[in-house]
Amino acid sequence: MDFEFTPEQKELIQVVRDFATNVIAKRAAEIDETDQFPRDIISEMGKLGIMGLPIPEEWGGVGADFPSYIAAIEEIAYASAAVGVILAVHTSVGTFPILYFGTQAQKERYLPKLASGEWIGAFALTEPGAGTDAASIRTRAVRQGDKYILNGSKIFITNAGEAGVYCVFAVTDPTKGARGVTAFLVEPGMPGFRVGKKERKMGLNGSNTCELLFEDAEVPVENRLGEEGQGFSIAMRLLDGGRIGIAAQALGIARAAFDAANAHVHSRKQFGQELAGFQGVQFMLADMATKIQAARWLTYHAAALKQQDRKCTREASMAKLFASDTAMQVTTDAVQLFGGYGYIKDFPVERYMRDAKITQIYEGSNQIQRVVIARQLNDVKRI
């Protein structure tokens, strides 16, 4: 199979790459150090169409295909993993739920604003007692006339505090388990809804991660996404695309770390020769490059299947699993190749290593990815 991009795709990716190189990369260290959400960069990305790449033109998007969107995440994550995850969450689980499951009125209200970057999307499923076991969420939604009353909390919500709309999941019928979960579109300013504590993280600084609090929050009935009881199904159907996005983020981080390490060992001399001349270093670089290439093929194979609207649960989990493990290994090796320099903040590899770790955890931990893959093994089709 050939995953070569078309001339049109290459042109689009080059636009993203140029912006990532000329704007995002120059601010990446500052964003990490200050942990300030880069709203100006996101606004510029909106003007370029990056915030609405895979959204149809009728809703204000670019109408690009899914692999091009995934390539954009990779390019942006190469420059800044924090900006990369802002885009990935905004699109894969912030905008797609409305595109796929929203009513005409919901699409008209939200999609143009999301595609332009005027609003940012967020996804609120995780709770203090429900992370991997998403079906056990406790946030309740009770209908009262023309509105729902929500009570509960969410944690680890990316883009919180900056989002214009949150896709929130709550239990409407606790007797039905996962089939009693319903999705809602919640906006800032709705009575009883507020953003809580912002988390201090190891990496991805600049990407907001906060708790959400619902205290008799009032959400209009017309803001229900899908039917009552359809929420868990909506969440699960979004995961394949989301996991491919995280694979692309991990791939971008790994590429950045490899390029930095490769340049370093060719410029630094020890014992009278370049570090790159030592076989041990060469073997490390060879392993890093091989794993990155394998992660690339897994990621874009899954993206191609998604574009064709084919089942890709197994492939998405494989891509996310392998790419994130690769990112962690490659960034760790990059720090090692830099020696003492790799451990100080004057060089970017320590940031790459901190940013890489979360890719093994969110969007389903890598242990869960192995469970998903194992359950899908009987569906393997051979050519």
Angle between helices 366-376 and 313-338 (to 10 degrees): 140
| CB atoms closer than 10 angstroms to residue 258 | 23
Which residue in 268, 244, 255 sits closest to 359, CA to CA?
A: 244
Residue holding tokens 């490899």? 258
Structure tokens at 264: 């370093």
Instruction: Measure the CA angle with vertex 271, ends 273 and 348; round to 5°.
Output: 70
CA distance 73 to 249: 6
Whether residue 99 contacts residue 111, with contact meaning beta carbons closer than 8 Å, is answered with yes
Concatenated DSSP letters for 155-190? EEEETTTT-SEEEEEEES-GGGGGGGEEEEEE-TTS
Q: Which residues of 119-149 are buried (b: 16+ CB within 10 A; e: fewer)?
A: bbbbbbbbbeebbeebeebebbbeeeeebbb
Catalytic residue check, 228: no
HEC string of 31-63 equals HHHHCCCCHHHHHHHHHHCHHHCCCCHHHCCCC
Q: Which residues are catalytic?
A: 363
